[in-house]
Structure 1
Amino acid sequence: MTTLQGPRALPSPAVAWLAWAAMVLPWLWPWAPPPSPSVPGLLVTWCLTALLWGGLVWSTRSASWQQSSSALIILTGLLAWAAWRMPVMDLALLGGLAGSVLCVMVASQCTRLSRATLLRHLCWALLSAAALSSGIAGLQYSGLLHQPLEWLSWLHASPNEEAYGQLRQRNQFGSLMSLGLAAWLYLARRGEFSRPMRLVTWASLLALTLGQVASTSRTGALTWVVLCLLAQWWPTQSKSPAHHTGARSGAALALLGFVLLCWVLPSLASSLATVELPKASALERWVEQAEGLGICESRVVLWRHVLELSLQRPWLGWGWGELDFTHATQAVQGVRFCGQLGHAHNLLLQAVVEWGWPLSMCGLGALMFWTVRRQPWLARTPESVLGWSWLGVIGVHSLLEFPLWYGPFQLVLGLAVGLIQPMPSTDSRADHATKSWARSPVMQGMVALWLMCSLWASWDYHRVSQIFQPAAQRSDACRQQPLACLDDVVWFHQGRDYALLSLNAGTLDPQQARALAQRVAHFAPEPWVLALTAALPPTPAPAANR
């Protein structure tokens, strides 16, 4: 174990505030109106990431943008391929693909622009967001948020008393707890936990442990245990031997506390009058909960269906965003998946079914080559260990779900990539070239355009979402004439078409209704929509929120 020395510079107050906002707000963002609840948080993350990058460039007057040209060429090619393979053009999906890649690229440069001065604030912000989310999850788990609170209406209620904070999904919340643990270990190794902060230090670790247990997430449990074990034997550098010992002690307590609370917390929660059903811990779910082919909602059934669909069009795939429509319209063998299908619950399967096997395998090979070249087994500095820890948590989660369609995970992924990238020497020719590229009007204009498009899309989504909400919750401009809010919608025209079809299906000409339904089916392949596309007597459309 070696020690770290060196002065610590401080960022400007504006950049520090931007770092805290970019890392905290996306995890706690409360507003998620239909038709696509993940979109508001995604757009908020993009805007804050662009502002953080701009603040860093303005304050440091320099930047490091490595391999930008190649990344932008690849992004352009992916957008062209996705647009070519789309049966119905969906600007929201294309914009989502472009914005997601840009978010990872820009976030990776934030840590490279100001690694020493920015990372401390980012880790403290992530730890704070995780601890606050754990407190909200505790209210949900104990039944105190069974219904929305009138005086805290922005907190998400949990009718089934599941712990997920503001993320509305247990596995996402479990991964947040593991990401927070990695940040806690980094701060401990860097000597950030001074004597006056000891109470906050151990209270935050206890909050993360309680949150991980309450999530009952098997994915979160796996990453939590692995991080705790790696902290015991991985030869990571620290500021001093005492700080190295403190990090190891914290990891040991986190692991021991997790195992004990998995046994105690469910029994304690079940004794409360508000809890109606017995609660199982993540460890019990590992042993008792099956994922077999005979259970229609299991991931195994879904994976088998997605694999079968990918083999029907192995070369080019079904098209970007077409999995749900393909699953609803194509015949598959065996027990049919009966759960809500939003994605393949596996990043690789999601890629092969929509992009085809050749392109997906090329991407997988490039990812493996990129990983091997950076030699994660040689990571020793706290920064590189933190980066690989964050990548590991997101990678494991991506084997079971699609976390990268959510803004805060994109931000953390980009930060992690920046942490493990080798830093060029300040006097090298390559460093001078990359700084010149980042200062160029092209780079700054691209980020500015991304920010403006994100703001434009936010306004577009606000107008589309009005039609899906009860009249009392709509804005004044949309309460009396909700259809007028759908005029001139550009990005989310699929949601607009769905609303128009559900409101006017009975009054449209049959040919018009069928043409509109054929477009809507690729956005929401519901039975009543598919019935209209086949020119059959349609099932009733869902009641509109008039």
Structure 2
Amino acid sequence: MVALPLVTFPADSIYGRYLPDILAFTGLGFWGLLTTLQPETKKQALHVNGLGMLTGFWALLIAAQYVFGLIPTSVAFTLLGIGYLLSAMLVGMLVRIWVNAGFEHELLHAFLLAVGVVAVLNATVILIQASPWIKYVVPFIEQGNPNRPGGIISQANIAGTWCVCGLIALVFLSQGSNRTAAPISAWRMAVMVWLLLAINISMSRIVLLEVVAVSVLCAVFKRKLQVHWVWSWLPLWQALIHYSLKYLWHVFQPLKHFSDANIYQRFTESNQSRIDIYSAVIETIKEHPLVGIGWRQFQWVHISRPELDTIFDHAHNLLLHIQLELGLAGSLSLLAFFIYAFKQIHIWSTEKPSVAVGLMMALVFGMHSMTEYPLWYAPSLFAFCVAVAFVFDKPVVSFKCPAWFFQVLFALHLSVVVWVYMDHKHANEKLGKFITGSSSPTSPERPSFWFKTYDDFIEVNGADIRETNVEQYQNKVINLTNFLTPAIPLHNLLKIYVFSHQEEKAKGLAERICRMNPALWQKILVWHLTQGPDTMKKWILDLNKDVIDCESAHPH
């Protein structure tokens, strides 16, 4: 629980998106150790719920993909992916241990308090980023996109979802041990307005739908859990705030970019972007319907489709993504989980606040996963697992382990987290020295274990990729497109596609480079026609004239 408020550390540090995840894994490790040391919890049986069984099966599936060569990345990177799934299983087990030991209310209170802190902090940063006063706090808060602030975690949609979870916390966060929702109060109303303001500025359609879903569930639980009627009308308060701000936007010039016209334009462009992404994903699923393309291998698709302007490594839909990367086995297991979940959930007879909270937050993160990828971030994943664990009180598998085993397990868990942190720090600093030219060729740095991609980047940048050594660099270059795409020289990837006779991917990449940066494409053409190998010259000369002249991407 302690890790959730910590995810609001600045996201523009050298540790990037890894910092919130490292903090979340650290919190999980300390929570696990605390569980093994508490007299009331250390002797409890271990229960694996349906979600734990699903993530455990996916972990085995990913391991099988690696063993059979479907995942060309390093074993360390594969282990990191498996670690997320096994940690999700551990979160559910820890929740049931504390609930069965009689600490359900205390755990729920701690969870809601942590979620509330994250929500309020992100809402505050979103509002500061949208204001003209951001220039005074830039050293401490990331400025972000001025047209669409994303909070400290720099993700407008995910920050908005955390604000919705904050609304759920307001409904049920109570010091008392009563089995009802919290009473209404002035401070709750003030925080509600604050969160709704941030949600409005985040301009996320799915977040607005999440607000509606939470309101509907509040109405469902109104009688049994004594939820105040105010929470059933959240969409109305959201609309009032929107039109109040709309009036202010006509008065204050700094807020003009939040006009209805700009919001409509962004929604329209986003709709087309989703259609393009889903089309690319479905095409690839048709090519690999049974076993998928391998966990975290989605870069094979997006880099070779010219109509996709942005860099991404996710299908932006959980169902499509699982089918894309884990194949039929992943989708069937997910379907089995949904069937099991619907049989377990008895929404109309729910009389426990913890179950209501779990249902609401699981629904919120689940809805968001249909258009985005919040569960690919450890804080969101762990919060989702806590919510699901509150709902599923019947285990699928139960067993007992000695306390010392789990003490060793979580001590090892924390050691690995520290190792990953230090390894990432070293790899990032080494990459920085290489980019700035301050690294010494006479004293090479030690290689990274967990983040070998950084070493591959340095190696590929100094390599002369030809037909004779294409197999040596193929996987390294393709994997780099997933992690360091803005920095990698794309002509290396183009050579990989041409030399390995992937003509369609090569043509798609050429069109995409032309669309993103026509000047870069012209430089690539000149270099390969004057200095490149004969294979590249022949391939370029065989291209259609509109591709060479960038006319397909930028018609004259």
Alignment TM-score, normalising by the size of structure 1: 0.78
Q: Is residue 323 from structure 1 mapped to residue 298 from structure 2 by the alignment?
A: yes
Aligned partner of 2:210 in structure 1 is 223
Describe the shift of the 1:479–1:279 C-alpha distance in structure 2 as closer, same or farther (beyond 3 A).
farther
Confirm or deny that 1:254 pairs with 2:234: yes
Aligned AA (1:300) = I
> Are 2:422 and 1:459 aligned?
yes
**8 Å Cα contact 1:85-1:319 kept in structure 2:** no
Residue type of the alignment partner of 1:254? L
* Equivalences for residues 378-389 of structure 1 within 5 A: 378-389=349-360
Please name the residue that 1:103 is paired with: 87
Preserved contact between residue 316 and residue 369 of structure 2 (Cα < 8 Å)? yes
Contact 2:171/2:182 (8 A) holds in 1 = no
Deviation at residue 346 of structure 1 after TM alignment: 0.6
Aligned to 1:400: 371
The match for 2:128 is 139
The share of aligned pairs that are identical, in percent, is 18
| 1:267–1:37 CA distance, 2 compared to 1 (3 A) | farther
CA contact (8 A) 2:147 2:258 kept: no
Q: How does 1:110-125 map to 2 (within 5 A)?
A: 110-112=94-96, 113=98, 114-125=103-114
Output the CA distance in 2 between the equivalents of 1:108 and 1:287. 38
Any residues of structure 2 matched to 1:342-357 within 5 Å, and which?
342-356=313-327
Structure-2 separation of matches of 1:261 and 1:483 = 62
> Structure 2-normalised TM-score?
0.77
Deviation at 1:291, TM superposition (A): 5.6
Secondary structure of 2:228's aligned partner: helix
Distance change in 2, residues 1:102/1:491 (3 Å):
same
Aligned to 1:340: 311
In structure 2, what is the equivalent of residue 312 of structure 1? Answer: 287
Shift of 1:518: 3.8
- TM-aligned CA deviation for residue 448 of structure 1: 2.9
Alignment of 1:486-505 (within 5 A): 486-502=445-461, 504-505=462-463
Question: For the structure 1 residues 99 and 532, does the alpha-carbon distance in structure 2 shift closer, same or farther, using more than 3 Å as the test?
Answer: same
Measured after TM superposition, the shift of residue 253 of structure 1 is 5.6
Give how far 1:509 is off.
Answer: 8.7
Question: 1:161–1:337: structure 2 CA closer, same or farther, 3 Å change rule?
Answer: closer
**C-alpha contact 1:108 1:415 (8 A) present in aligned 2:** yes
Distance 1:74 1:52 in 2: 24
* Native 8 Å contact 1:31 1:40 kept in 2: yes
Shift of the alpha carbon at 1:496?
2.1
**Structure 1 residues 101 and 514, CA, compared in 2 at 3 Å: closer, same or farther?**
closer
Whether the aligned pair in 1 keeps the contact of 2:296 and 2:313 (CA below 8 Å) is: no
Counterpart of 1:210 in structure 2 is: 197
Q: CA RMSD in A?
A: 3.6
Q: Are the structure 2 counterparts of residues 79 and 260 from structure 1 closer, same or farther at C-alpha, using a change threshold of 3 Å?
A: same
Distance 2:125 2:444 in 1: 34
Counterpart of 1:364? 334
Q: 1:404 to 1:288 in 2, by over 3 A?
A: closer
Gaps of 5+ in 1: 1-18, 239-243, 425-429, 542-546
Deviation at 1:205, TM superposition (A): 1.7
Give the whole-Å Cα distance in 1 for the aligned partners of 2:252 and 2:86.
47
Contact 2:316 2:371 in 1 (8 A): yes
Q: Cα 1:268–1:312, aligned 2, differ >3 Å: closer, same or farther?
A: same
Query: Would you say the 8 A contact 2:73–2:475 is kept in 1?
Result: no
The 2-side partners of 1:392 and 1:72 are apart by 18
| Unaligned ranges ≥5, structure 2 | 500-509, 511-519, 525-556
1:296-327, Cα deviation, whole Å (9 max, x unpaired)? xx101110110011101111111111111234
Give 1:45's aligned residue: 24
Q: Conserved in 1, the CA contact under 8 Å of 2:11 and 2:154?
A: no
| Contact 1:404 1:410 (8 Å CA) reproduced | yes
Where does 1:384-463 land on structure 2 (aligned, <5 Å)? 384-422=355-393, 434=399, 436-437=400-401, 439-463=402-426
1:222 counterpart letter in structure 2? L
Asked if the contact 1:127/1:204 (under 8 Å) is kept, the reply is no
Aligned residues of 1:103 and 1:410 also touching (Cα < 8 A): no
Any conservation in 1 of the 2:217–2:360 contact (CA below 8 Å)? no
Whether contact under 8 Å (1:514, 1:532) holds in the other structure is no
Of residues 100, 107, 127, the one that matches 2:116 is 127
Aligned-partner Cα distance in 1 for 2:167–2:342? 25
Q: Deviations over 1:351-394 (max 9, x none)?
A: 111122x2133122221122123124343311111101111011
Q: Distance in 1 between matches of 2:160 and 2:82?
A: 27
Q: Secondary structure at the match of 1:157?
A: coil
Supply the distance in 2 between the matched residues of 1:460 and 1:371 (Cα, whole angstroms).
39
Change (3 A) 1:398 1:85: farther
My pick for the range that moved more, 484-493 or 186-195, is 186-195
Q: In structure 1, what residue type is equivalent to 2:27?
A: L
C-alpha distance in structure 2 between counterparts of 1:281 and 1:52, whole Å: 47
1:376-432 Cα offsets, whole Å, 9 max, x none, are 4343311111101111011101100111110111111111122012168xxxxx99x
Q: String of CA shifts for 1:437-482, please: whole Å, max 9, x gaps.
A: 2x4444443333332222211111111222454899x9xxx96659
Give me the whole-angstrom Cα distance separating, in 2, the residues matched to 1:380 and 1:486. 59
In the TM superposition, what whole-angstrom CA distance separates every residue of 1:159-218 from its partner, at most 9, and x where no partner exists?
A: 4242221121111011101111112212268578689xx443232222211111111111
Give the Å deviation of 1:221. Answer: 0.5
What residue is the counterpart of 2:43 in the other structure?
62
Alignment of 1:492-531 (within 5 A): 492-502=451-461, 504-505=462-463, 515-516=472-473, 518-524=475-481, 527-531=490-494
Change (3 A) 1:479 1:415: farther
Describe the SS at the equivalent of 1:66. Answer: strand
Asked whether 1:183 is paired with 2:169, we answer: yes
- 1:19-70 superposed Cα distances (whole Å, 9 cap, x missing partner): 3x222112x0324556x83222212211111211221331233334213896
Matched, 1:264 2:244: yes
Q: Displacement of 1:500 after TM fit?
A: 3.2
CA change 1:39–1:85 in 2 (3 A) is farther
Change (3 A) 1:272 1:85: farther
Query: Residue in 2 aligned with 1:164?
Result: 150
